[in-house]
Structures are given as structure tokens and as C-alpha cells.
Amino acid sequence: MNNTKYILISGAFGGLLSSIPCLNYLNLCFCLIIGCSAWLGLHLWLEEVEADDRVTLGSIAVFGGISGAISGLITAFISSLVFLIFYKDTFHSILEAALKETGISLEGISVSGPGFIMLMLSISVLYYTFLYAAAGSLWSISIAHLFYKEKLI
């Protein structure tokens, strides 16, 4: 049972939908977009599984976890790119105003420098990847129990 293409489909679907402004707010509700993408991938995969074959919960959890991690990577890269294109100057002025209140000078800190960009990208990749991987696993297990009980071992 090769499910790699379904993992990639599910991950790409979740990552792209999670990157759309305003639509990404659905992830505030229990990572709903990640759950829908996990459902799509599971449905496509389990439709190919023959009636006498069974799937373990472990393989379903790994399926959802990898799919969620792919979604997280795609979302992190697109979000970082959107930030760099549209919000870099706004962020600089907000950071400057916040640091002015504390008395810290912004001189010597480059928001457009490669170090800051790599830091921001690293944090967003870690955040989205771990969060979406955990959500993908949990959603996959829940969906399998609710809708594909006959395919489970």
C-alpha cells in the first residue's frame, strides 16, 4: 500500500489553503483546514485499499503526521514570503515603537538582513511543522474511527 502520493496531495492541499488570507482563520477552530486535508488524503488512500486489507491506526497516524508536516512547511514558506513582500516595513515601525517604550534602541538591528529573515523562517517552520503534524495525526485518527472503522485492524 503505497500512500506517498496521497500524503503529498493532502499536505499540498492543506498548506495552500492554510496560506490563503482570511481562509486560514479556519485553522483557529481545531486546525480545521488540516483536518479537511487529512480527510481528503485518507479518503483517497482508503478507497484504494481492498476490502479484505486492513490498515493500522499507527499507519494512519503517521499518514496524518507527515501530511500535516508538509502542510506546515508549505504554510511557513508562503507566510514568510508574504511577510517579506508586504509587511516588512510595517513590522519595522511597530518594532521600533515597541522598543522605544522600553528604551531599547533599534540601531544596528536590520529587519531586512539575512540573519533576521533566517530567524523568522526558522521559527515559523518549527511552529507550523510541529503544530500541523500533531493536528494531522489527531485528525487522521479521529476521522478513521468515525468514518473508516471497517478498514481498521
74-111 pLDDT tens trace: 999 998 888 888 877 777 777 777 777 887 776 766 66
pLDDT tens readout for residues 26-49: 999 989 999 999 999 999 999 998
**Predicted TM-score (pTM) of this structure:** 0.86
**Segment 96-153, tens digit of pLDDT:** 777 778 877 767 666 667 777 788 889 999 999 999 999 999 999 999 999 999 999 8
Q: Return d(Cα 149, Cα 153) in angstroms, integer.
A: 9
Q: What is the residue whose three cell numbers read 483557529? A: 28
Phi, psi of 117 (to 5 degrees): -65, -45
The three grid cell numbers given for residue 136, joined into one nine-digit string: 494531522
What's the CA gap between 132 and 128, in Å, rounded? Answer: 6
Amino acid at 33: I
